[in-house]
Amino acid sequence: MTFPLLNISAKKWDSEDLTDYIIFDKFIYTDKESIFNELYKNKIFIDCDGRIYKGIKKVELAEKWRNWLRFIPNIWKREVLFRTTGENWTVDELRNYLLKRVSELKTDKDTENWKTQLKKAKNYSELIYG
């Protein structure tokens, strides 16, 4: 799995939640079940190699010292486990998905620029990173 991952479960994007669609590592930095359920559980993700994964569950890390220092930001975290679906998308499939999602957002200078960059992108990383 090559990070970052992009959540491709959403049928329509909300401009308020754009940062929730990309995941930069395999950790969740909260124990709130509602956040895990909203952002990871049973959601479908694509990695920077075009492979498709599904968020399954979160597990506690083995180091017990993390619990003692959980008040320090980024010390306390859970690992999110993903299962491969065995599917892959081509670069063009991901590009088309992203162009559809961006086109649903309010049209302005930024979204037009984003669409231009998506059309020029040559690989998965360029599409996901933008």
Asked if the model's pLDDT at residue 62 lies above 70, the reply is no
42: left (phi over 0), alpha (psi -120 to 50) or beta: left
pLDDT in tens, 4-53: 999 999 888 888 888 889 999 999 988 789 999 999 999 999 999 999 99
Strand partners, 78: 28, 60
Q: What is the pTM of this model?
A: 0.86
Residue predicted with more confidence, 7 or 77: 7
Strand partners, 6: 22, 46
Asked if the model's pLDDT at residue 63 lies above 70, the reply is no
Task: Give me the chain's average pLDDT, please.
Answer: 89
Please state, in angstroms and as integers, the Cα–Cα distance from residue 54 to each residue in 35, 83, 117, following that order: 16, 5, 27
Asked if the model's pLDDT at residue 112 lies above 70, the reply is yes
The residue-averaged pLDDT of 80-105 equals: 96
Asked if the model's pLDDT at residue 67 lies above 70, the reply is no
Q: How confident is the model at residue 118 (pLDDT cuts 50, 70, 90)?
A: very high
Asked if the model's pLDDT at residue 116 lies above 80, the reply is yes
Query: Which sequence spans correspond to the domains of the chain?
Result: 5-129
Strand order in the sheet with 5-7: 22-23, 5-7, 44-46, 51-60, 78-88, 27-28
